[in-house]
Structure 1
């Protein structure tokens, strides 16, 4: 067994230790795939070290090796031959032995760890030669990842560090698994998760949004162990990381499913209907085109209650899935979308149905750069299944485009930005140039267009002229949209003529 060390690992040491493994992989595999190999190894090392820690504690109590190995003294089982110490002895076909150990541990812990190590190509020696895997194993052997040395919170922060570093390194694939954490924190505070509630993310990536709800309760010094977390993720390797991430954060009631949320939602009730949740945090993939629109037209779960989105944009399919997944009494959601969902013409009927459902509580526009490696501006949509009486028939619009900081090419929200936005949301009142409460009649007058500039003006117009300013903006927007549509029609007509020739 690994020798237990009493040395507490600092955050800086942890980050250096974790990134050191990535350096060993440089030049062998694409940076976007680092996570597929480093996370499982860290997890396997952590499991082995925590098992040893539990064994040592039980041995001190019972004074007997066999009693110390009883299942009741451990959170999980590590079968013979699958411990980290066993793998350090392997000199050939290292990938084969690693894969076998991982599968053995998964099989021995079917409730908690099924599929947790993902599907990396461990046996591909062209990709990962024995020498590289042995170097990785020895690198990770330099520290003991026990709970005493590295509490769950701190190891979880290490995971967050690696996720961001991988995003830095891979660039193009960053949005698959990284969402700006300062924005996630704001979304979480807006929803105010409570102890004992259920939290759901239909496109959960590595589970960062789910964990943010637990982190917020911890920050407040409130009970967090009874929060129930549910997530579904299309990418198998990423869903495996989400499972590890929840486990390493000490989440006892975590449920991560692999699969396509639109095609086959994983969480259903006893009658086969969509399960509902208290809190939903989501950053769905944007405007995907390859989705089964025909199946959604006859959706067995009733997720087309507002209508069927266009084939080229599945945003409102995810939107409706989330709306249907809200607990009818306590449900609230914060969803990160592109601004287009607020005004695109082809979704006008869907948008009107959204407003009329009275689920829409707030629309928050944010500044550029909060999407990783993208200048795109973000919008957060807040839904609430049961609005307070004073908010019914109304929507709060917040223009937070200037509430963003940028340092070292990274955009983020400072505490002051979060406090200002959160205050506007909680007070649900107007603030000239920053926030406006709009009644349904006002939204109807604007053709159910939810573009934030139509409601929140940056001008300091005197009373009586605001409506004129908004009407002018709406007129200009419609004129520009009509001009763009006409130009597209002209281009298409020319192309048809060329084809006809």
Structure 2
């Protein structure tokens, strides 16, 4: 199959579920089935190779065969394919048996989809899915890692386009991911971490970035944490589908229970890339006030917005010598009054290297403008005491209700970042002192004259928070005025 034929074939499995389950739930079933089929086909391929090398001697082949993953005979795809009644139970049991047979690598990887609920997925529906996937062998000879990995990424994007509001849980705009990876420039042997890794796109692209440069990507140490069970499973499958096996992706709440520790402290990493969930309210602010890992470096964020809890977690998790981070946020993180003190401390410690304002619609199902916040624990002498601010709001291609960065946009932004100098109406180097004089505001409009100074695109929650803050300030001023008059 060509790449296009493979993608069409895999997407056909998803479209067979239309009208049966919500589009947002496709990923719970299609990804595990795809991975299950891949494992079984590769398992058969590995046995056939051993048989070929042993000149058809079954006994010797059984002794000589080497498998990436063990597939018990009763859990093989062919066994499930022969099942006609209670197909969901057969699929679920087979997946659990494969997880048990590979506890160190595959435990929990198939997620917790409800395969046995016949009201959602009848025997006929599941049989049709099994038969659809059975049309082609998905072994390494027919479908190499690169081809399957690209098709997997294609499915992730299609599910994002098709599933509406759930898309942001597991998908980050791939053109933005490419820019973020180029800026971080991970090197062989370094550790890379994503505290809210979604489907693993940021981590994966770091490895692929090295591979495309002809460098040794297998020595890259990849770590990720993701709170959603099925999304964390998709991230692990994503790695395997691309032929990457050296990684650790853990399910869990990063703020409440960080997964990666060393000597009871947060493990530190050379590179951190993140697209955290923005402005979440359901987090444990009280515990963060007395955080056992010392993540409240600059203070405690307001209950209604945990953005700077994530940003402080990122900073605390950076290597002291060459740690560098890049995180994708809405513009509000640059100027919200409720976070001014924390933002000022971050700037005062000379941790911020660059701020890049991106255009609207780069967040799925949101017209908000995005920005990239780049920090370093040990800035070069040239950049010390300075922050580069880039206005790339117009460097974006709008198409229907989404947007993406074209190659010319990525090149222009990346070059400005590398050059670290003033560019008329596009980039400006601002001193830390000037930023602090402006109460720690990183609002791009304050420093680049060609930026629209009207109120930036905000979410409803951000607009409400700003309104409450300004109302409280106004009330305090009125009370002060009455006190003076009295």
2:420 alignment counterpart? 428
2:123 alignment counterpart? 130
Deviations 1:69-102 (A, max 9, x none): 4486111111121111111111111111111110
1:440 alignment counterpart? 432
1:234 to 227, 234, 237: 227
1:300 to 276, 289, 292: 292
Deviations 1:283-304 (A, max 9, x none): 0001000000011111001000
- 3-state SS of 1:225 partner: coil
Whether 2:262 is the aligned partner of 1:277: answer no
CA contact (8 A) 1:287 1:313 kept: yes
Normalised TM-score (structure 2)? 0.92
Deviation of residue 354 (structure 1)?
Answer: 0.8
2:357 alignment counterpart? 365
Change (3 A) 1:67 1:282: farther
Change (3 A) 1:70 1:449: farther
RMSD between superposed Cα atoms in Å: 2.0
2:153 to 160, 171, 186: 160
Aligned length: 465
1:151 alignment counterpart? 144
**1:228-377 equivalent positions in 2, closer than 5 A:** 228-269=221-262, 271-377=263-369
1:107 alignment counterpart? 100
1:187 to 180, 193, 215: 180
1:478 alignment counterpart? none
**1:21-60 equivalent positions in 2, closer than 5 A:** 21-60=13-52
Q: Take 2:167 and 2:375, find their aligned partners in 1: how far apart are those partners? A: 27
- 3-state SS of 2:151 partner: helix
Deviations 1:426-466 (A, max 9, x none): 1111111100111111111211111011112218xxxxxxx
Change (3 A) 1:337 1:154: same
Change (3 A) 1:361 1:28: same
Unaligned runs of 5+ in 1: 1-8, 460-468, 474-480, 494-501
- 3-state SS of 2:75 partner: coil
Change (3 A) 1:437 1:124: same
Q: Take 1:224 and 1:288, find their aligned partners in 2: how far apart are those partners? A: 34
Deviation of residue 489 (structure 1)?
Answer: 6.0
Change (3 A) 1:371 1:71: farther
- 3-state SS of 1:199 partner: strand
- 3-state SS of 2:273 partner: strand
Q: Take 1:204 and 1:442, find their aligned partners in 2: how far apart are those partners? A: 35
2:83 to 71, 90, 94: 90
1:20 alignment counterpart? 12
Q: Take 2:469 and 2:240, find their aligned partners in 1: how far apart are those partners? A: 50
Deviation of residue 409 (structure 1)?
Answer: 3.9
1:196 alignment counterpart? 189
Change (3 A) 1:70 1:228: farther
Whether 2:470 is the aligned partner of 1:485: answer yes
Q: Take 1:453 and 1:391, find their aligned partners in 2: how far apart are those partners? A: 22
CA contact (8 A) 1:303 1:324 kept: yes
CA contact (8 A) 2:152 2:241 kept: no
Q: Take 2:242 and 2:58, find their aligned partners in 1: how far apart are those partners? A: 29
- 3-state SS of 1:73 partner: coil
